[in-house]
Structure 1
């Protein structure tokens, strides 16, 4: 077996939990094969470059092996290798998320209580 359907490979490589989810994501244009939009029945072979947009930086992997069965995660990980630029982009995005301030920290007291709301209304003259 030297080629397999794209949706079946994505399922076997554990990128999606079911083949139907893989088909939906491919249909939405979130999966590219060799930088071109693909259909679920598109055949992939070792050496093909697949871009998967599940997270903010797209995951770019190169097909290493073909499998038609879904196995354990360590076996599925051997079906592909992530490109170095994809790894670097994910690390940069993780660092940016780590350095970004948490918006909720600006709110010190949270929502006003019922008593606070009454005091605010009293000060406004309502």
Structure 2
């Protein structure tokens, strides 16, 4: 099965065209090498997807005939992302939420506590 179709089938991307675009833009690695959209996925392959500031890794356990439901994804894909990358993802998510608009005044007590926890 093609890698772009596989990524869409196991719900790592919302649409197949988004999966194809990320593969074309060298954000998807297959076995440590940059993959092309037509590259075939085999059982046991390691897929790494680069996001802004972090990356996620997966091991292929099998392939579906077509797009599967969310409950069936663990049968086809195993996440092997290191905890360090997951912590980066969580930090970036919190940092994005804590960004304040200019002119909104001083941080509230709750926002200040959240900032202190981050730092």
Regarding TM over 0.5, the answer is: yes
Q: Using the alignment, how far apart are the partners of 1:25 and 1:7 within structure 2?
A: 9
* Equivalent position SS for 2:78: strand
TM-score normalised by L of structure 1: 0.69
State the alpha-carbon separation in 2 of the partners of residues 27 and 39 from structure 1: 6
Say if 2:63 is the partner of 1:80. no
Find 1:109's aligned residue among 96, 99, 105: 105
Moved over 4 A (4+): 95-101, 105-108
Counterpart of 1:114 in structure 2 is: none
Cα distance, 1:40–1:97 mapped onto 2, change above 3 Å: closer
Aligned-partner Cα distance in 2 for 1:37–1:99: 29
SS at match of 1:22: helix
Alignment TM-score, normalising by the size of structure 2: 0.73
Number of aligned residues: 106
Deviation at 1:16, TM superposition (A): 1.1
Instruction: Give yes or no for contact 1:70–1:76 (8 Å, CA) kept in 2.
Output: no
Larger radius of gyration: 1
Structure 1 counterpart of 2:5 = 8
Question: Residues 96-117 of structure 1: CA distance to partner in whole angstroms, max 9, x if unpaired?
Answer: 754899452895638xxxxxxx
What CA deviation, in whole Å up to 9, does each residue of 1:48-71 have, x standing for no partner? Answer: 010112353111111111113111
Instruction: Say what the alpha-carbon RMSD is for the aligned residues.
Output: 2.7
Structure 2 unaligned residues grouped into runs of 5+: 107-119
